[in-house]
């Protein structure tokens, strides 16, 4: 079994988290949304983040959004393949932006990091295009044991070193949960086809406490 998480284009996160200014050492957008385990059906919409009004020629990471899940029961999440995909763009070829994302768990209140499942990556894959283009990536997560109820947090953005002539950390990501008409499409790297923004665990996360699950199936 696997677990699929949906990244909506609207809504507010159940709690507010504080992204690491060490990991996201350039810009941090304030947008925080729910991370859904059931598809909410939000339409596709672009989220733009243009923090630089002039050339910004530094190698830093920019977070465009964070997604925070409902409360999950205590559990050990084993090391596994975890994939995330959505459509992205950079506003200028000189921006030199690359995909960056991070996964970790927080306590119920959202104010304590309980463990990092996947550290932020930098300069992975190909540079963003100037039109909305798919970025899909699978990486291996770390095994983490959560000994208390917790929430899963996905942070997404870019990293790169802009160059003179208009280079800035200005990016656009498309989020949404709607299913395309006619066929189901998973976001593929460098593909411009529209598809839902998904985070996929290759193994199953426990979403409800075992006592509740037993009650539900009549045990």
pLDDT at 183: 64
Per domain, the residue ranges of the chain are 3-216
Distance from C-alpha of 219 to C-alpha of 213, rounded to nearest angstrom: 9
Multiple choice CATH, 3-216, 2.60.120, 2.60.220, 1.10.357, 1.10.3470: 2.60.120
Q: Are 155 and 28 in contact (CB under 8 A)?
A: no
pLDDT at 214: 42
pLDDT at 86: 96
Beta-bridge partner residues of 4? 200
pLDDT at 34: 98
Exposure of 215 in the CB half-sphere (CA atoms within 13 A): 5
pLDDT at 182: 61
Distance from C-alpha of 141 to C-alpha of 202, rounded to nearest angstrom: 10
- CA-nearest of 175, 196, 204, 183 to 31 is 175
Q: Are 178 and 198 in contact (CB under 8 A)?
A: no
- pLDDT tens, N- to C-terminus, the chain (219 residues): 799 999 999 999 999 999 999 999 999 999 999 999 999 989 999 999 999 999 999 999 999 999 999 999 999 999 999 999 999 999 999 999 999 999 999 999 999 999 999 999 876 679 999 999 999 999 999 999 999 999 999 999 999 999 999 999 999 999 999 886 666 678 888 888 898 999 999 999 999 976 544 444 444
pLDDT at 95: 98
Q: Are 90 and 159 in contact (CB under 8 A)?
A: no
Is the torsion defined by CA of 185, 191, 194, 199 positive or negative? Answer: positive
């Amino acid at each position: 079994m696997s677990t699929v998480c949906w990244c909506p284009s609207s809504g507010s996160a159940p709690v507010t988290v504080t992204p690491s200014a060490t990991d996201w050492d350039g810009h941090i957008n304030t947008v925080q949304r729910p991370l859904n385990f059931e598809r909410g059906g939000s339409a596709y919409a672009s989220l733009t983040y243009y923090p630089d009004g002039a050339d910004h020629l530094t190698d830093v990471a920019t977070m465009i959004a964070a997604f925070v899940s409902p409360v999950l029961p205590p559990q050990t999440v084993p090391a596994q393949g975890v994939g995330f995909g959505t459509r992205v763009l950079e506003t200028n070829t000189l921006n030199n932006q690359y995909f960056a994302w991070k996964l970790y768990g927080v306590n119920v209140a959202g104010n304590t990091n309980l463990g990092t499942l996947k550290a932020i990556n930098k300069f992975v894959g190909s540079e963003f295009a100037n039109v909305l283009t798919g970025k899909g990536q699978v990486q291996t997560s770390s095994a983490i044991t959560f000994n208390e109820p917790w929430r899963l947090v996905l942070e997404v953005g870019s990293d790169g070193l802009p160059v003179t002539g208009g280079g800035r950390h200005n990016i656009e990501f498309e989020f949404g949960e709607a299913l395309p008409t006619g066929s189901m499409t998973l976001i593929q790297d460098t593909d411009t086809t529209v598809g839902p923004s998904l985070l996929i665990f290759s193994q199953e996360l426990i979403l409800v406490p075992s006592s509740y699950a037993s009650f539900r199936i009549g045990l």
